[in-house]
Each structure stands twice: as C-alpha cells, then as structure tokens.
C-alpha cells in the first residue's frame, strides 16, 4: 500500500487526486492539508482518516484526534516519515519549500505546483539528483512528454508543448481590453482554479510550462516549441533525432496524469473513455501569437535572465491576476504589471532565502504599480 501526503487537498487538483484514490485499496492517505477551506477538509478527514492534518489558515477544530500542524512551517512539518509519495497540489510560491522538504527526506514528489520549478527549478532538480528522488510531473503537458519518452527525461531532439489557446484565442487586442474576469474564467476545455485559468487566458501558463520543461527535462529554451492546438487532445509531443514524433493523446481531463503520478511505474485502467477519432474528426494546429499574448514572452525572458528573475515574474503575476479578478485592472494590463516588475527586479544569487526576498519585493512592487497606474 502506497502512503500519500496530499498537500492542498481542498483545491481543484487535490479534490481530483482524492477522486482517483477514492475506493482504491492500493493507496492510503497519510496527510491532508488546506489553507482555509476547513469545512471540506473535515469531510475529507472523516472519509480518508489521515494520520496528520495541516491547516495554514484559521477556523479549524481538530476532530478524531489527528495530529494537527499549524503555523508558518506547518506544510513543511506535515510531511511525515511514513509517507511514500508527497503529492504537491498546493498553488503558489509556498510550494517550493514543501517540495525541497520532501526531497530532503528522500520522498518521491508528484508535482502539480508550477511555482516550485518556475521559481526554484535549479534548486529542486539539483537536490533531487543528490537524493536520488523522482520528480513525477502531474501537469498534463509534462506528463505527456514523460510518457512519450518512456518515463525518461532525455533522448529527444525537441519538446513540443500544446496550448488550447484559451478563451481568447480568436479575439483581437481591441476586444481583449474589455474582457472581464468572468470571460477569462470560461476556459473552453479544462476545469481549473481561477489563477491558472486566467494564466491560460494570458498564455502566461504556457510560459511557465516552458520553464518547467526546461528544468524537468534539461532542455534549453530553443529545444522547446509551443503550438496552439484548440482541441486539447494532444497534450504534448516529442521529436527525435530521426525527425519522427511521438504524441500523447487523451481527452482533456486531469484524472489521467493524476492517476499515472500515483501508480507510476505502472499504468492502470482509467475511468476516461477511449478516444473516438471518428467523432473528434480533426486536430488543428496554429502558431502562438506573441504580440497578442505578451505574457508568454515575459516568461521566456525571465528564463533567459535566470537566477531570481522567474521568481519575481511569478510573484508579480499572482498580484496582477488577483487585481484583475477583483476588477482593479483590465485584462491586458496583467502583462504590463508583470513586465514592469520583472524588469525592475534586482538580480540575486539563487537560494531559498533570496527567493523569499525576491517574492516579497516583487509582490510589493506589483502592488505599487497597480496603485500608481490603475487606482
């Protein structure tokens, strides 16, 4: 039986992880964590009976005698010695410390937290190599690359990430200036949390995924291509030295990469239906319009700059997207805020401490930009 520490059990991915685990005797929940959705957490506790519980927010009353962790380092402390796999489904910069803690204790990590690799990818991959720990990709695109490479992370000529194009794929710049949060949250293919859904609409998410692929597979940016594929059936492709291409295809549903992350190295039967190619009819591909989606270029520029610049870019994005969701800035100004803050960032050598400083300074700078230009 594989014991799972699920970090972020009440979020979008966390709930889907529990749906996959539910009724499967091969897995046991060792740890559940949440930030503020304590009502749902208590329901999960009653069903899955974890040994440890972590709440980073407030309003939780312990039930059934679990070991409860709270406070600043609660998520880090909640990874117990009995855990076999740490499934990091929490969002945000806080995920980096959790991933490093899990690796330090020799635990394999199923990674659904983009920020850990975007902000501190070099730290994560270096420590994982030292400890002999597997970083198992959960993002559908990186899981697809991993599968196409037969669970290896080398041996490719080019990595090809696909993007749906989001809700504004066919819109022009003039129209995009007037789109609301409700418009941005209507993703045509995927059901996700608000932050990542808006990042898909700006294509920042695809820039994040290039950075993730760079760290996961050791690929320079010029060996990673992004192509718009509106149907979201092909999740990624790998081109090899002989110019042959292997693609991973399935319906757009996170249950498949989540299940694989849990069952690796085995592939077990999935609740997803088989692809009906006759019904699908066609698969389309288009270039990504960088002029219309400047966030993608900003992300790639931060990767090229290196050190703490991707961290500054990520922090600015969290503040800017939240401001957009709250109606404080227009959709097209998300890129303006992120770009200005990233350009102003001070270069610092890569360390957890310097990334924490960078994260705090970039958030403050983003808030100042918003107040100065929009409020």
Please tell me the predicted confidence (pLDDT) of residue 60. Answer: 62
Please tell me the predicted confidence (pLDDT) of residue 374. Answer: 85
> What are residue 126's phi and psi, to 5 degrees?
-65, -45
User: How confident is the model over 168-194, as pLDDT tens digits?
Assistant: 999 998 899 899 999 999 998 888 889
Place of tokens 């239906």: 273
Cβ-contact 336, 243 below 8 angstroms: no
Please tell me the predicted confidence (pLDDT) of residue 121. Answer: 98
Spacing of C-alpha 130 from chain mean position = 24
User: pLDDT of the chain along its 375 residues, tens only?
Assistant: 899 999 999 999 999 999 999 978 899 999 999 988 989 999 999 999 998 898 887 666 555 556 787 776 777 777 878 899 999 999 889 899 999 999 999 999 999 999 999 999 999 999 999 999 999 999 999 999 999 999 999 999 999 999 999 999 999 988 998 999 999 999 988 888 899 999 999 999 999 999 999 999 999 999 999 999 999 999 999 999 999 999 999 999 999 999 999 999 999 988 889 999 999 999 999 999 999 999 999 999 999 999 999 999 999 999 999 999 999 999 999 999 999 999 999 999 999 999 999 999 999 999 999 999 886
Please tell me the predicted confidence (pLDDT) of residue 61. Answer: 59
Sheet with 135-137, side-by-side order of all strands: 67-70, 52-55, 27-34, 2-7, 85-88, 108-111, 135-137
Please tell me the predicted confidence (pLDDT) of residue 355. Answer: 98
Q: Does domain 306-375 have CATH number 1.10.1740.10?
A: yes
Domain ranges of the chain: 2-137, 139-291, 306-375
- Is 366 buried (19+), middle (13-18) or exposed (0-12) by CB count in 10 A? buried
- Prediction pTM value: 0.94
Residue 230 token pair = 């509106």
Place of tokens 């500054």: 312
Residue 73 token pair = 């380092």
Please tell me the predicted confidence (pLDDT) of residue 228. Answer: 98
Q: H helices within the chain, ranges in order? A: 12-21, 38-48, 74-77, 95-104, 114-131, 140-148, 173-176, 181-184, 194-202, 204-217, 255-263, 277-280, 294-305, 309-325, 333-344, 352-374
**CA gyration radius for the chain?**
20
Nearest CA to 123 out of 215, 261, 208 is that of 215
Q: Give one word for 37, left, alpha or beta, with left for phi > 0 and alpha for psi -120 to 50.
A: beta
**Helical (H) or strand (E) element with 293:** none
Please tell me the predicted confidence (pLDDT) of residue 260. Answer: 96
Place of tokens 């855990």: 83
67-70/85-88 β-pairing: unpaired
Nearest CA to 120 out of 335, 363, 365, 359 is that of 359
> What are residue 283's phi and psi, to 5 degrees?
-120, 125
Distance CA(286)–CA(284), nearest Å, equals 7
If one looks up domain 2-137 in CATH, what number appears?
3.40.50.720
- Looking at residue 56, the DSSP 8-state letter turns out to be S
């Amino acid at each position: 039986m594989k014991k799972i520490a699920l970090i972020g059990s009440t979020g979008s991915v966390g709930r889907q992880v529990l749906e996959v685990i539910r009724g499967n005797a091969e897995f046991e929940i060792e740890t559940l964590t949440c930030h503020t959705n304590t009502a749902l957490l208590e329901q999960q506790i009653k069903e899955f009976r974890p040994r440890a519980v972590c709440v980073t927010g407030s309003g939780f009353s312990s039930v059934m005698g679990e070991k409860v962790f709270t406070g600043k380092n609660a998520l880090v402390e909640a990874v117990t010695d009995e855990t076999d796999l740490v499934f990091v489904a929490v969002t945000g910069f806080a995920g980096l410390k959790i991933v490093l803690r899990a690796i330090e204790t020799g635990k394999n990590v199923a990674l659904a937290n983009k920020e850990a690799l975007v902000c501190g990818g070099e730290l994560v991959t270096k420590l994982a190599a030292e400890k002999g720990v597997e970083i198992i990709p959960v993002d559908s695109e990186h899981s697809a690359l991993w599968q196409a490479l037969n669970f290896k992370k080398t041996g490719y000529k080019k990595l090809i990430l696909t993007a749906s194009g989001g809700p504004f794929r066919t819109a022009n710049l003039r129209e995009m200036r007037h789109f609301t949060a409700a418009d941005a949250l209507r993703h045509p293919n995927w059901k996700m949390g608000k932050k990542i859904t808006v990042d898909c609409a700006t294509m920042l998410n695809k820039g994040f995924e290039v950075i993730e692929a760079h760290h996961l597979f050791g690929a320079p940016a010029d060996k990673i291509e992004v192509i718009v594929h509106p149907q979201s059936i092909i999740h990624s492709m790998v081109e090899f030295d002989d110019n042959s291409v292997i693609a991973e295809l399935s319906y757009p549903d996170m249950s498949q990469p989540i299940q694989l992350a849990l069952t690796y190295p085995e592939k077990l039967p999935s609740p997803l239906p088989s692809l009906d190619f006759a019904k699908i009819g066609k698969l389309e591909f288009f270039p990504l319009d960088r002029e219309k989606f400047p966030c993608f270029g900003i992300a790639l520029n931060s990767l090229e700059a290196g050190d703490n610049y991707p961290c500054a870019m990520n922090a600015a994005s969290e503040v800017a997207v939240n401001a957009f969701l709250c109606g404080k800035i227009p959709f097209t100004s998300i890129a303006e805020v992120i770009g200005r803050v990233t350009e102003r960032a001070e270069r610092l050598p890569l360390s957890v401490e310097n990334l924490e400083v960078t994260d705090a300074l970039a958030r403050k700078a983003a808030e100042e930009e918003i107040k100065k230009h929009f409020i």
